[in-house]
Amino acid sequence: MHLVTARFRKRIVSLAVLLILPFGGGCRPGPWTLWRSYSARFIDQQGRVVDPKGNRTTSEGQAFALFFALVDNDRPRFDRVLEWTQYNLAQGDLGAHLPARLWGKDADGSLKVLDPNSASDADIWLAYTLIEAGRLWNQPGYGAIGRQMMAQIAGREVFDLPGFGPMLLPGPSGFEHKDSWTLNPSYLPLFIFERFGTVDPAGPWQKIAHSIPQLLRDSSRNGYAMDWVNYAPAGGFSPVPGFPDPSAEPPGGSDDAIRVYLWAGMLDEQDGARAEILDALHSMNSYLADHEAPPERISDQGVPSDKDGVVGFSAAVMPYLRAIPGGGKALVRQTIRINAQKDPGTGMYGRELTYYDQNLALFATGFLGKRFSVGPGGELTVEWSRS
């Protein structure tokens, strides 16, 4: 009976993966049409990733684009994105300056840095991608910048939380309070810190990686990830309103927290912390067993809202559902949902073709389509390197 169940689950998961793969002969993925469509719509000729909502650029958007360019073996676009990021967000030198979080049009109409504070999720993704680009393309210069960024992150964005240990803060300033510290669980993809721990064994990375499963377990509510949480030595973790504008989002889980499930699903099967992290996030799987889509929002008490999340939310949970035992049927349901909202003209997802939805879909479909994977030590494997 167990053998039949296991075989059935594998068939369900295989069907879901086939639904997102491009049509064509053989088993190797064809051209990454979603990335090409995304690049044409959201990345200008200079390498700037433009979020049409407000004509703004974030360091996070630049970091993700750099990663996708590496996955696609798109060296010219990689260099343009890197150059724009370095000269416009990092004062010309990412090795010496962490990139500013936000760039766009000021009140006087000029385009410039709007928020000089760096965002640590962008910083770790940039450093990770540069280190892996240096290895995969055999270009040590990329890796050197990545290691210099790691040193800056360790010195400016890592803080030793009393009673907990070293942890990544969301940025250099604004997150340390009198008796507490603000954290963002979606800024903590375990595999990145595992990889950093190999690159720099003397740094804080291995300790951070060791603590991430506990942080996710203690900060989640009723088995759901939260967007922003405060840590206080006496009281542990508690949900807090969004940052930088607390009035914009109440405490709970939504746009940021959905990435926690995505990163968990991308962990290698041999990663020793994978089962613990998936268990800490168990309620999303239970919810999706009898719902058509992830909820738009989870309350600070761990109660899902009645409204469905956007198409990017469905994409984000797909690797997580593949990793969860018994998640096969829900995975097929989410795969069907995102394919039903795929625009045939652009090849992108959603009715409004938002920038954030496409980023979530690029990670999810790129991973499930075997364009990239991460090993048990966080090392990146890309399909083109196997040729």
Active site residues: 60, 121
Sheet with strand 111-115: strands edge to edge: 57-58, 102-105, 111-115
Tell me which residue has tokens 């979603």: 34
Respond yes or no on whether the N-terminal peptide bond of residue 162 is cis (omega within 30° of 0).
no
What is the crossing angle of helices 33-42 and 355-368, to 10°? Answer: 160
**Measured distance CA(211)–CA(207) in Å, rounded:** 6
Is the C-alpha dihedral spanning 86, 88, 92, 94 positive or negative? Answer: negative
**Measured distance CA(19)–CA(23) in Å, rounded:** 9
* Cβ partners under 8 Å of residue 131, min gap 6: 142, 143, 146, 147, 150, 195, 199
Phi, psi of 37 (to 5 degrees): -65, -45
**Measured distance CA(309)–CA(87) in Å, rounded:** 36
Strand partners of residue 299: 252
Tell me which residue has tokens 């719509």: 41
Task: Provide the token pair at 30.
Answer: 């064809």
**Measured distance CA(382)–CA(387) in Å, rounded:** 10
Residue-level length of the chain = 387
Residue 120 identity (one-letter amino acid): S
Nearest-CA neighbor of 191 among 237, 128, 119, 97?
128
